[in-house]
């Protein structure tokens, strides 16, 4: 099967963004976008096989790409690592042109049958952040880092959707507090590992954790509805 043209993917997505604030990530918006660019429904669904769901995921992937591009172009060398994490989350949210597009997306992915897609999209964002910041973990920490960041990112996203402060200052303060809380936990874990009394009790769990490996890298796939950040 011939892969869909990326230009046509982008064109259809751009057309949909006009309708989503009013109709949500719905079949109504999807069909209207296809009509706007002069393609029939069959052609549109050859590009995004699950219609509005794949369209919403493509929009999320576009935001991820903007974040990755900015991480590559900005000089973060003078920042502490926690500040780099905060910057990455901020870059991701600042990639959004209209909060209503994300608000409509949270509604879509809150539905039980689409929740796995939403969770996978958030995980993808957090994985990209850690990867771009040079994470080399190859044990259970690969998972815990991304799971922890997913919690921070999701909470910050929801706060940001309702934030009316100038330049989202309240959101960035909220983000800093969430990261500080995570860092306090990491500090506590380091102290436990440094304790002559407690360290022996961690030998078994630490060994077990070291046996857990990240998933094998999936081959690049070019399937309908998939828009992945560029290397």
Read out DSSP for 103-146? HHHHHHHTSTTTHHHHHHHHHHHHHHHHHHTT----SHHHHHHH
pLDDT in tens, 4-63: 578 899 999 999 999 999 999 999 999 999 999 999 999 999 999 999 999 999 999 999
26 vs 194, residue with greater confidence: 26
- Cα dihedral 125, 128, 134, 137, rounded to 10, equals 80
Over residues 204-218, mean pLDDT: 54
Q: Between 211 and 105, where is the model more confident?
A: 105
Closest CA to 34 of 18, 21, 22: 18
* CA-closest candidate to residue 67, choices 85, 84, 89: 89
- Model pLDDT, residue 176: 95
* Higher-scoring residue by pLDDT: 216, 12: 12
- Top-confidence residue, 49 or 219: 49
Beta-strand runs (E) in 9-50: none
Q: Is the pLDDT of residue 223 over 60?
A: no
Q: Would you place residue 205 in the very low, low, confident or very high pLDDT band (cuts 50, 70, 90)?
A: very low
Q: What mean pLDDT value characterizes the chain?
A: 85
pLDDT of residue 231 exceeding 70: no
Give the per-residue pLDDT at 201. 40
Whole-structure pTM value? 0.82
Give the pLDDT score at 218. Answer: 46
Q: What pLDDT sits at residue 46?
A: 93
8-12, 89-93, 142-146, 155-159, range with the lowest pLDDT: 142-146
The string of DSSP codes covering 58-103 is: HHHHHHHHHHHHHHHHS--TTS-HHHHHHHHHHHHHHT-S-HHHHH
Q: Tell me what the mean pLDDT of segment 192-218 comes to.
A: 51
pLDDT at 3: 52
Please give the pLDDT value at position 5. 73
């Amino acid at each position: 099967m011939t892969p869909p043209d990326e230009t046509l993917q982008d064109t259809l997505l751009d057309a949909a963004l006009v309708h989503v604030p009013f109709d949500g990530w719905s079949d109504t918006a999807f069909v209207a976008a296809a009509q706007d660019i002069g393609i029939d429904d069959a052609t549109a669904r050859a590009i995004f096989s699950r219609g509005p769901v794949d369209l919403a995921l493509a929009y999320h992937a576009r935001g991820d790409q903007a974040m990755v591009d900015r991480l590559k172009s900005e000089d973060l060398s003078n920042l502490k690592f926690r500040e780099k994490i905060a910057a990455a989350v901020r870059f991701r949210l600042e990639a959004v042109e209209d909060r209503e597009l994300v608000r409509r997306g949270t509604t879509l992915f809150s539905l039980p049958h689409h929740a796995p897609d939403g969770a996978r999209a958030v995980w993808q964002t957090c994985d990209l952040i850690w990867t771009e910041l040079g994470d080399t973990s190859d044990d259970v920490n690969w998972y815990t880092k991304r799971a922890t960041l997913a919690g921070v990112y999701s909470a910050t996203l929801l706060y940001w959707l309702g934030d009316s402060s100038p330049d989202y200052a309240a959101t960035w303060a909220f983000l800093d507090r969430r990261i500080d809380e995570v860092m306090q936990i990491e500090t506590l874990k380091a102290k436990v590992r440094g304790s002559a009394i407690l360290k022996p009790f961690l030998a078994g769990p630490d060994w077990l954790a070291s046996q857990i490996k990240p998933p094998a890298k999936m081959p690049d796939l070019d399937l309908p509805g998939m828009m992945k950040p560029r290397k």
